[in-house]
Amino acid sequence: MQNNDSKFKTVIDKNTFYFYNPVFQEKYESYINSLKETLLVLKNKIETDGLKKEFFEALLLDKENGLRALLALTGFANESLKRLLTVVRVADNKELSKLLYKDKWAKKENGIELSEWGDTRIIKLLKDNSDFRKGIVNLFFEGSTIPFLAQTLPLFELKKLSISKLKFEIPAMIDTLVRYKESGSYSGKAENNPEVLITNILRELEIDFEQGELTELFKKEKVEKRKMDFIIPSKKLPEIIIESSFLKTTSSGQGDKAKTEANIKKLISRYYPKATFVGFVDGIGWYVRKQDLARMVSAFDDVFTFHKDEIERFKQFLKQERKKDD
């Protein structure tokens, strides 16, 4: 056995800096080359015969990694596609449904416990259902022209549904590279957090607020400490308590979160009976988990979403509450 100095020296002297498995590296390089060659063949075909939807339909049908190649070309993330398909399944938009031939592949969902489709199911449907295949191609050709998608998708994602990318135009390829490079930074920006919108509204209306733990609640009860998103006007004298939950996808913890908020509501009612408990509950994750959603909204005195109409209603709510204090 080594002593501490020897163990320290081992890590310093024998450090590999980067770990890599040569077998895996070779295998993955083959996969990358396959995608690259598939796209080069497609590019040459388009340059020779022009841009045609059937080329992309054949790509999805005939190539094992056809969908991956299409996503690489456009920069559209696999997770984003799965989330968008969930939106298509639950949304009742005639223009979008027609574009994607929704009635030919989407079963009527009961709307209670809807789950996001996995890779295996999507790939199988692409191979087995020509209408689904055509619909996906239509999405990348014409999706940006659908008003519903223009209003629903963030502009950062909508720009990826560009026909110029399918033509392999150089500016479009550079756009894909830049968006891919900046995707992590984009997702992590504070301004991209829905709670920032609430903060801006409170500041716009010159409403005092704090964030953190409720003093009386956590001093007298043996509960796990919880940071409240917004406490108006202060932690010592809360009048309005706001919690925000925006879920981009479903998760196994939604039921627990709903239960937690219900318990917090009971404690707020006990220690701050005059305070109003408000929730911002939004996102496709809550939309498709309706049983969890029902439990979640029951924990709050009122619930808002980040829809523009709801934002306006929230502003009016704050103004009315302020009048009560005057």
Residues 263-305 pLDDT 10s = 889 989 988 999 999 999 999 888 888 888 999 999 999 999 9
Highest mean pLDDT range out of 56-60, 222-226, 266-270, 289-293? 56-60
Least confident of 55-64, 146-155, 272-281, 282-291: 282-291
Q: Could you tell me if 157 and 300 lie in one domain?
A: no
> Do residues 47 and 124 share a domain?
yes
> Please, what is the Cα angle at 162 between 184 and 122, to 5 degrees?
70
Instruction: Report the number of distinct structural domains present in the chain.
Output: 2
Cα separation, 323 vs 264, in Å, equals 27
CA–CA distance, 159 with 149 (Å, rounded to integer): 11
Cis peptide before 233 (omega within 30 of 0): yes
Does residue 123 sit in the same domain as residue 26? yes
Distance CA(176)–CA(170), nearest Å, equals: 10
Mean pLDDT of 12-37: 93
Same domain, 176 and 203: no
77 with 159, same domain: the answer is: yes
Q: Does 60 or 226 have the greater pLDDT score?
A: 60
Sheet-wide strand order for 210-212 = 210-212, 228-233, 238-246, 276-282, 302-304
Mean pLDDT of the 97-123 span: 85
Inside any domain, residue 54? yes
Collapsed DSSP state (helix, strand, coil) of residue 245? strand
The total number of residues written for the chain in this structure:
326
Domain-located, residue 9: no
Contacts of 28 (CB under 8 A, 6+ apart): none
Closest CA to 293 of 301, 285, 249: 285
**Same domain? 172 vs 198:** no
- Check pLDDT > 90 for residue 143: yes
What sign does the CA torsion over 200, 203, 208, 210 have? Answer: positive
55/168 same-domain check: yes
Domain that holds residue 123: 21-188
Does 4 reside within a domain?
Answer: no
Distances in whole angstroms, Cα of residue 16 to Cα of each of 40, 100, 153, 302: 36, 50, 43, 56
β-bridge partners, 279: 243, 303
Q: Do residue 126 and residue 268 come from a single domain?
A: no
Same domain, 36 and 179: yes
- Contact present, 240 and 279 (Cβ < 8 Å): no
Tell me: do 171 and 67 sit in the same domain. Answer: yes
**pLDDT for res 225:** 53
